[in-house]
């Protein structure tokens, strides 16, 4: 097994999940993850593999996003609207879709650095790895994460609340 194979087997799932959460599109996420491993191929040595992979993936997204951020935002918005307006046959599915849409909104509302730190943490990166990948000082990771979590949860709950109110109004 080559080194890249090992890297792939070890980190692909986490990387794709991280990117999916980050991007909201699994295809895109897989694409970026693949490109990340391709970059790894060219690397002679990588010190901290996980931090390196997540950093490269993050930068790939950033570079690409910079190119056509507006187009993607628009499309993502359209997709979201479509999801929200879609009438799902099953309530559970609808419920889940709404949760996903709210989660997306809440995550998107975070500052980029907070969002990335949080998503990396969720994939098991430790504070040093997060600091390395995001070029933060290790001491600030705790603060970054605590802020990210609080904001995420608060904005999600706010969305939840306004949805409940909408539903209540619609019912009455």
Partner 1 sequence: MQHLDEGTIHSWLDGALNAEEAARVEAHVKECAQCQAAVAEARGFIAASSRILTALDNAPRGVIPAAVPKRRLDPMVWRIAASVLVVALGSVLVIRERGIGEKIYTTTESPDTVSASAPPVTVLSNQKPAAAPQSANAGSGKREAGSVGQNRSQAAAVATTPTRVAAPSPASVGGGNAAPRQDLNKAAAVPQVTAQNAPGRFEAAAAGRGSAVPSMDAMADEQPVRVVGRPRALGEKLTLYEVAPGDTVMLAEQVEMELQSVVVTGAGVSLQGATAAAAPEAKRAAKLAPTQDTQRSAQAQAPAPPAVSVSFAQTPDGTATLTWRDSASGKVMRLSGHHTRAELEEIRRRIERARTAAADSVKKDR
- Contact between 35 and partner 1 by CB under 8 A: the answer reads no
Judged by CB under 8 A, the chain residues 71 through 90 that form the site for partner 1 are: 72, 75-76, 79, 83
Most distant CA pair in the chain, distance: 65
Q: Is 14 in the site for partner 1 (CB under 8 A)?
A: no
Residue 72 tokens, joined: 């993607």
Q: Which residue's CB is nearer to partner 1, number 23 or number 53?
A: 23
Residues 6+ apart with CB under 8 A from 85: none
Binder of partner 1 out of 39, 104, 113, 163 (CB under 8 A): 104
Q: Who's near 55: CB < 8 A, 6+ residues apart?
A: 132, 133, 134
Options 33, 55, 56, 119; binder of partner 1; rule CB under 8 A: 119
Q: What is the rounded CA–CA span in Å between residue 109 and residue 103?
A: 10
SS3 call for 109: coil
Cα separation, 2 vs 143, whole angstroms: 38
- Residue 103 is a binding residue for partner 1 (CB under 8 A): yes
Looking at residue 47, the DSSP 8-state letter turns out to be S
HSE (CB half, 13 Å, CA atoms) of 122?
Answer: 18
Min separation Cβ 172 and partner 1, Å = 28
Site stretch for partner 1 (CB under 8 A), options 24-32, 39-47, 50-58, 164-172: 24-32
Q: Is 141 an interacting residue with respect to partner 1 (CB under 8 A)?
A: yes
Site for partner 1, rule CB under 8 A: 17, 20-21, 23-29, 31, 72, 75-76, 79, 83, 96, 99-100, 102-104, 106-107, 118-119, 121-122, 126-127, 140-150, 152-153, 156
């Amino acid at each position: 097994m080559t080194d890249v194979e090992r890297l792939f087997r070890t980190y692909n799932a986490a990387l794709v999940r991280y990117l999916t959460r980050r991007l909201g599109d699994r295809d895109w996420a897989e694409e970026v993850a693949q490109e990340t491993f391709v970059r790894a191929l060219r690397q002679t040595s990588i010190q901290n593999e996980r931090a390196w992979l997540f950093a490269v993936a993050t930068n790939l997204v950033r570079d690409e996003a910079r190119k056509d951020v507006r187009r993607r935002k628009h499309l993502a918005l359209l997709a979201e609207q479509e999801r929200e307006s879609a009438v799902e046959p099953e309530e559970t599915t609808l419920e889940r879709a709404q949760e996903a849409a709210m989660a997306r909104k809440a995550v998107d509302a975070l500052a980029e650095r907070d969002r990335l730190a949080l998503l990396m943490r969720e994939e098991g990166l430790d504070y040093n790895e997060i600091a390395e990948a995001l070029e933060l000082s290790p001491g600030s990771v705790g603060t970054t994460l605590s802020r990210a979590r609080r904001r995420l949860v608060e904005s999600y709950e706010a969305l939840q609340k306004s949805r409940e109110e909408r539903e209540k109004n619609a019912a009455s």
